[in-house]
Structure 1
């Protein structure tokens, strides 16, 4: 993990109107104050401002973060190793290659009188860094960059990180044992100009369902409903609504089909009206069928019983008490990373992911989901007796209430996966060994169940679990 702070104050730094101007990049740096981890350093070359863009000298930056740089004069290409990341830059290019992906820079890398200068924002993105640029008195400029302080990787699970890199996994990953983080990493692109960071907000797709199930169960603990109540108690007009219970909706045994219209301006009430006109696939309670529609109805029940919106209820009863400050119901006002879909053999940004309350609308982070994981070992949100009902297999598919049970001898693991709008996610909780694995991918079409299985096996091997 790199923990570096650059504090650059440019005093009368040169401003070049055109690339390749006559001013030298290798000028005196006495007027530039540079700090790395609170210690003043001296660069051989000063930052430059070229046509309004701040550039920093690549070799000096690399040395400051304890990286290595190899220069190929024939191709005008620099190859940099910083920690476990490989960066490749070429003079005149607007791309910075980081591992297996390419970041787009707003302006090109350029050679100024023999010194390779890189746009500072692009370099910050390549290092998963934060950047703050300020103009201060007397025309001076302060540039503060805080590089990656959130990634974590313990030696025991380096092999898992290596595997995720080898398969070009895109997204965020977290592995914890007994709540202690062993791996927290970002992989691939958040958007064309930014890498996925480990603290990135992202859509979690059907992992949202665990919060819907918990909301229903919290209302049950408060005596405001019973999971054996028929849905007709709360919503009229659902086919065989007097036979379909909340338990059946929770356990995916209601017989309701999954799909519903996903127009961005469609209200929850309008989606419920659409479900009223669906045809059941089988008699309620007689079989298993995964149904997003069922969880939409559960969200509507939450609203009817609590008198609050689904988003507000989940926020008040789960997110706020647990300090999940980076979680909520998604909207265009909330910035998350982009989902990607494949088009003409290339990955392109997916359209905005439209779902409906209860089924797949939540955004979160790996850290917040770890908070949720820890809470499920306590009575903070629900009692342990109630939580245990979430893990019971209510069909031959081992589906409980928004968790799927997987048994290996005496050991129990519960998990769930999700997909939609360019996002592919999975959440595994080994209840026996207290191993948590969270994978929040942002490419469509990934087989998250198989990936989760592979990561579980590799993690168990790395930790020498029997």
Structure 2
């Protein structure tokens, strides 16, 4: 799910391209909802340009500073039950890999509560056989969450996106579930020695979800909602479902030019990629959450200071440097976040999310600024680069002369 990553730094990057002709008309005609203070109009204009250039039908943006939500915007519309519905700042989107920050925080909280040590061995916690590869004994929770556990999707197929192959190998019918995925992967050798390198792994985070269930005695979703989200007043977030017919009432529609054979049954039916081309229930702990941009910005506040969810020690663990994997730009992967020390000596933390029908970006940067943008499609053949949202929002941040002080949080929670 992780896409290419440019170094996050305010003011670094390209100015959004100027839209001309029909694109300019599209940008000005995009339906909008929510609140944009005049001082933050640059964010709104940049988003409209970005949306028009990529023909995006549904999007959101939220901007905050020092724990206050200052901008909350919905863009576009979708059809639900035969009616055209405007995207609201509170509409639900699949957020893909932004979900990993919830899973990392959940295990940090379990460690905070004395339920587990992050150095605990995953095979021991889950009772996994290590006969296929004894190195599996050396996969700790730290390594699972920092993507140094031994699975590399550039070497072996990503098991979260290999439903037909796993079903065939195990001789089972579709849909497969977490147990099937774990059985398939555990019977194979790791791609590298745990702790020896960084390789982004959706499977590692899926396993982390199973550890959370084992330790808490709750479903993954129940533990996260009860322990992490409810204490800070986030009530809308929930795990998504695979089919359009299963969508929640305020959930947008997802778009992709691609189709795939269904993974929700053995019919062999060719379906729109976002609706049955992959399993949302299997994605849960690595990419299965639904949220709005305001939800995700408020979730980011949890990591600003000790509070009801995480204490100072746990926040430090979330952003701690791994044993390996600090890249040439000085950034590293923590527990569900990319992390880099910025030019003020504080931390910039961020993540992208990408799956068919979804692209999302959440960042917490210097001076207490944070923002989240979510879209109902991602970069595909013939569409402009979606990663450019990073420098675009960075440029908009740098252009703000005076930050508003009115807090919109209560309006959207």
2:274 aligned residue (350, 371, 396):
350
Cα distance, 1:464 vs. partner? Answer: 6.8
Cα distance, 1:363 vs. partner? Answer: 0.5
Distance across 2 between alignment mates of 1:179 and 1:426: 18
Query: Equivalences for 1:225-264 in 2 at 5 Å?
Result: 225-235=116-126, 236-237=128-129, 239=133, 240-258=135-153, 259-262=158-161, 263=163
Cα distance, 1:343 vs. partner? Answer: 5.3
Q: Secondary structure at the match of 1:370?
A: helix
Cα distance, 1:367 vs. partner? Answer: 2.1
Distance across 2 between alignment mates of 1:453 and 1:411: 19
Provide closer, same or farther for how the CA distance between residues 296 and 408 of structure 1 changes in structure 2, counting only shifts above 3 A: same
Q: Secondary structure at the match of 1:341?
A: coil
Question: Could you tell me which residue of structure 1 aligns to residue 326 of structure 2?
Answer: 396
Question: Could you tell me which residue of structure 2 aligns to residue 439 of structure 1?
Answer: 373
Q: Secondary structure at the match of 1:424?
A: strand
1:271 aligned residue (175, 181, 206):
181
Question: Could you tell me which residue of structure 2 aligns to residue 178 of structure 1?
Answer: 66
8 Å CA contact retained: 1:393, 1:404 = no
Unaligned runs of 5+ residues in structure 1 are 1-87, 89-96, 104-125, 129-147
Higher helix share: 2
Distance across 2 between alignment mates of 1:180 and 1:387: 20
Distance across 2 between alignment mates of 1:304 and 1:207: 23
Provide closer, same or farther for how the CA distance between residues 98 and 337 of structure 1 changes in structure 2, counting only shifts above 3 A: farther
* 1:382 corresponds to 2:310: yes
2:215 aligned residue (273, 282, 305):
305
Distance across 2 between alignment mates of 1:406 and 1:457: 18
TM-score (norm 1): 0.64
Higher strand share: 1
8 Å CA contact retained: 2:119, 2:140 = yes
Provide closer, same or farther for how the CA distance between residues 178 and 212 of structure 1 changes in structure 2, counting only shifts above 3 A: same
Cα distance, 1:166 vs. partner? Answer: 1.5
CA deviations over 1:220-239 (Å, ceiling 9, x no partner):
11111111111111121254
Provide closer, same or farther for how the CA distance between residues 208 and 309 of structure 1 changes in structure 2, counting only shifts above 3 A: same
Distance across 2 between alignment mates of 1:437 and 1:380: 22
CA deviations over 1:120-162 (Å, ceiling 9, x no partner):
xxxxxx966xxxxxxxxxxxxxxxxxxx5xx010111112211
Distance across 2 between alignment mates of 1:376 and 1:437: 14
Cα distance, 1:319 vs. partner? Answer: 1.9
Query: Equivalences for 1:363-382 in 2 at 5 Å?
Result: 363-377=290-304, 378-382=306-310
Cα distance, 1:191 vs. partner? Answer: 4.2
1:334 aligned residue (214, 232, 248):
248
Cα distance, 1:401 vs. partner? Answer: 1.0
Cα distance, 1:423 vs. partner? Answer: 0.1
Query: Equivalences for 1:122-201 in 2 at 5 Å?
Result: 148=33, 151-168=34-51, 170=56, 171-191=59-79, 193-201=84-92
| Higher relative contact order, structure no. (Cα contacts within 8 Å, ≥ 6 residues apart) | 2
Distance across 2 between alignment mates of 1:457 and 1:253: 33
* 1:221 corresponds to 2:145: no
Cα distance, 1:181 vs. partner? Answer: 2.6
8 Å CA contact retained: 2:258, 2:273 = no
Provide closer, same or farther for how the CA distance between residues 341 and 127 of structure 1 changes in structure 2, counting only shifts above 3 A: closer
**How large is the Cα RMSD of the aligned pairs?**
2.9
8 Å CA contact retained: 2:238, 2:290 = yes
Question: Could you tell me which residue of structure 1 aligns to residue 5 of structure 2?
Answer: none
TM-score (norm 2): 0.71
Question: Could you tell me which residue of structure 2 aligns to residue 455 of structure 1?
Answer: 393
